A and B are shown apart, each in its own frame.
Chain A
Amino acid sequence: DAKTTQPNSMESNEEEPVHLPCNHSTISGTDYIHWYRQLPSQGPEYVIHGLTSNVNNRMASLAIAEDRKSSTLILHRATLRDAAVYYCILVSNFGNEKLTFGTGTRLTIIP
């Protein structure tokens, strides 16, 4: 599986935008970029995913570089409830349904 690289931790002030980066320089053409997050003592939850174009949903936006070697998860207005570990994961479109979790980015929100 292609690997992803994320910063170990980030901090952001409450009600400000947060940009969480992810590098995936060995991504293949059939890999989707998925983001999950895990709140303390809970199972992960799906945030967003994309292939080539930028994506928006009610939780976040995903900006994908033109060469697809990096992407950025954008939380437009962080709240205290967004404090979590965010995982950037590449998922093959060819039936490989396994999610390989890296270390993720621990996001701390400062009130």
Chain B
Amino acid sequence: GAVVSQHPSWVICKSGTSVKIECRSLDFQATTMFWYRQFPKQSLMLMATSNEGSKATYEQGVEKDKFLINHASLTLSTLTVTSAHPEDSSFYICSARLAGGPYNEQFFGPGTRLTVL
């Protein structure tokens, strides 16, 4: 089956630093990847849609200069949280859509838990 990995699985950083999270589709090519954020006891909120070779599309209210997304290849997308603050502490989850797949099925990564001190 289609597998999506994320690295790191958890990270703790100091306020003001930047953190990069990687999302990889291990056994398939993904033209589109998605980034979600989930706060404790809440549902997933879509942050942005990442298309290979083009700029990401951000959801309303998500700062594109703070959450930098790069989708340089068909198997890798990265999310960089710049100048992280405690309110950015959250569970970040990526998903990938199978390129050429007949349905809009998305395969999710295991998530990255970010804690900003």
Residues of A within 8 A of B (CB): 32, 34, 36, 38, 41-46, 49, 87, 91, 93, 96-104
Contact = CB atoms under 8 A, between A and B. Distances in A.
A97 B97 contact: yes
B108 interface: yes
B43 A46 contact: no
B46 A45 contact: no
Contact of B108 (A34, A44, A96): A44
Contacts of A42: 110-111
A32 B49 CA distance: 20
Contacts of B78: none
Interface of B: 4, 6, 32, 34, 36, 43-46, 49, 91, 93-95, 97, 103-111, 113
B30 to A, nearest CB: 11
Contacts of A98: 34, 46, 49
A87 to B, nearest CB: 8
A44 B49 contact: no
Contacts of A103: 43
